[in-house]
Amino acid sequence: MADRVLVTGVSGFIGGHLAAELLRRGYSVRGSVRSPSRIGEVHTAMAAAGVEPADLDICRLDLLSDQGWAEAAAGCRYVLHVASPFVLEKPKDPYTLIRPATEGATRAVGAALDAGAERVVMTSALATMQFARTPKGHICTDSDWTDPDDPRLNAYTVSKVRAERAARELAQRRGAQDRLAVVNPGAVIGPLLTDDPGTSVTAIQQIMSGALPMVPDLRLPWVDVRDVADVHIAAMSSAHAGGRRTIIATDPMSLIEVAGVIRERLPQASHKLPKRAMPTWFTWLASAFEPQLRDNRWLIGQKQRFDRTPAETLLGHPLRPVPDAIEETGRSLAERRLI
């Protein structure tokens, strides 16, 4: 009988790729959605990934409710907690993000430990490390922690820090530190399985659609969603991942460089691409009026570096080249007429 894996947030971009890869490898998957209305999307995603969903069953779980968590985790050898709230616009009350992220993390970890799961792998974010106050030229590692009380942070980043800390503290109280592994991805892109572009893919969608005639000099640590899925699966059983945080991200590439990759590799979809980046002074001026830019203006022109060695050790090979991931993202957006 195939090992069963619970994947929370299976209708999301990472969750869909993760479920598909698990099925491809012969696991039985139980995936959770918040609303039954998204079940059809999950089946569509599995078909797009070329897998047969016979070994996939779907349950309903809410990050803010205890209902169903024990039943969902029962009989699962591994639990992969991918689900997390996200909004594109800054909420008036940051706790609309912080509370479900934190409570969802503790519900998932608690249910996994109660059910006897060998390992629970939690999807966190590079943001829980990359905004730590460090010296210039510092290479970010798993020992770095973003301060959730830093006034520069947006609600999303605070929610990720507090959720990861809550999960780790719960595992520690239960004496189960080695049964929790955390994966911290950067900006996740790659081929789409549905018409929902996900969070980071939206940045490429805006570049290709002409929504950004000029782009700010923001540099993002892109990573292919398939590598993210593979690292989650490797972390399920690897002794090296137990009790650890694993960065999976590349050294950042600017938005104008992303546009250059698309122009070179997908010329047929390049007619709306921006040709230049905003001057730094103009970006700072514009950030006074644009909330999303204001939340990220401290990254303008920044050239951060990240230690991806542990992720590549888990994978057994280097991360996929970012230009390839950008090309496949752009191709998916064009083929689905999302630009």
> What is the residue-wise DSSP string for 28-97?
EEEEEESSGGGHHHHHHHHHHHT--GGGEEEEE--TT--TTHHHHHTT-SEEEE------SS--SSTHHH
Spacing of C-alpha 184 from chain mean position:
8
pLDDT tens digits for 219-267? 899 999 999 999 999 999 999 999 999 999 999 999 999 999 999 999 9
Residue 160 bears catalytic tag: yes
Report, as an integer, the average pLDDT of 192-218. Answer: 91
Taking the CB of residue 335, how many other CB atoms lie within 10 A of it?
12
pLDDT tens digits for 42-52? 999 999 999 98
Question: For residues 111 and 120, what is the distance between their CA atoms, to the nearest angstrom?
Answer: 10
pTM for this prediction: 0.95
* 21-to-53, 177, 231 alpha-carbon distances in Å: 11, 26, 11
Question: For residues 99 and 162, what is the distance between their CA atoms, to the nearest angstrom?
Answer: 9
pLDDT tens digits for 102-138? 999 999 999 999 999 999 999 999 999 999 999 988 9
The tokens describing 17, both together, are: 């790729």
Question: For residues 248 and 223, what is the distance between their CA atoms, to the nearest angstrom?
Answer: 7
Catalytic site residue from 136, 160, 275, 303 = 160
Can you point out the beta strands (E) in 86-189?
Answer: 119-123, 139-140, 180-185, 187-189
pLDDT for 88 beyond 60: no
